[in-house]
Amino acid sequence: MRTAGWRSFALYGFAIALCQPLAGCGSAEAPAAAVAGKNDRVEAAPVVPVDAPLVIAFGDSLYAGYQLGPKEGLAPQLQAALAADGRMVRIQNAGVSGDTTAAGRQRLSYVLDNAKAKPALVLLGLGGNDMLRGIGPDQTRANLDAMLAELKRRGIPVLMTGMMAAPNLGSNYASKFNPIFPELADKYGASLYPFILDNVVTDKSLMLGDNMHPNAKGVKIIAASLAPLVEQALPEPR
């Protein structure tokens, strides 16, 4: 992980300390209305062919587009970033605010079984709510391992977006939680973006008021960072 990513945790740790009593910010009951300002608005993702490869973005509120408009979340912005680079794919938003790895494990097969086509790639981004709720890292690892095993069984490539423990959770927790993502990515041959909020969480102009979720401009930066990795992870176009 880049040094800038490690420096991100000063502000991030403070925000987590505020949110921990809520047992996970961005729960499914949280309002979905957009709160981004006019300057944060982004253009719609270009229309892609119906037979374009399918990418499923399977994660929590950071994928779901918490408090953002329908065109401002990760799926539409990433689709737009890829299209601007000449790579036409359909990205399905399968993010659920408040999801833990256990909840994701329960719904993964349903999402895959009901997809309109076999995904060319799955983006997997869960674990942040486990940390907020103080769930044991062993459980987080086991749930992510099971999801990666299922995706491998189905022959679906994976790009993981990682999370890291905030400093206020202590070095013991961090020593067990932080290695989960690189170690599982290595075990299953998955691509990895180590920290999804890297280069975003320390800039308040890129975050919502809770200092936990990116606004539309922040998501745009994340999408731009992920786009090259998605292109590399996707099968070569026919």
H-run or E-run covering 75? helix 74-84
Query: What residues does 122 pair with on adjacent strands?
Result: 56, 158
Positions annotated as catalytic residues are 61, 210, 213
On whether the CB atoms of residues 231 and 85 are closer than 8 A, the answer is yes
Q: How far is CA 56 from CA 167, 229, 235, in A?
A: 31, 15, 14
The answer to whether 215 touches 200, Cβ cutoff 8 Å, is no
* Half-sphere exposure (Cβ direction) of 77: Cα atoms closer than 13 Å: 26
Dump the DSSP string for 89-143: -EEEEEE-TT--HHHHHHHHHHHHHTSSS--SEEEEE--HHHHHHT--HHHHHHH
Distances (CA, A) of 22 to 134, 162, 193: 11, 22, 27
- Which H/E stretch holds residue 7? helix 3-7
Closest to 121 in 3D by CA, of 196, 58, 181, 65: 58
Return the closest-CA partner of residue 211 out of 9, 66, 12, 4: 12
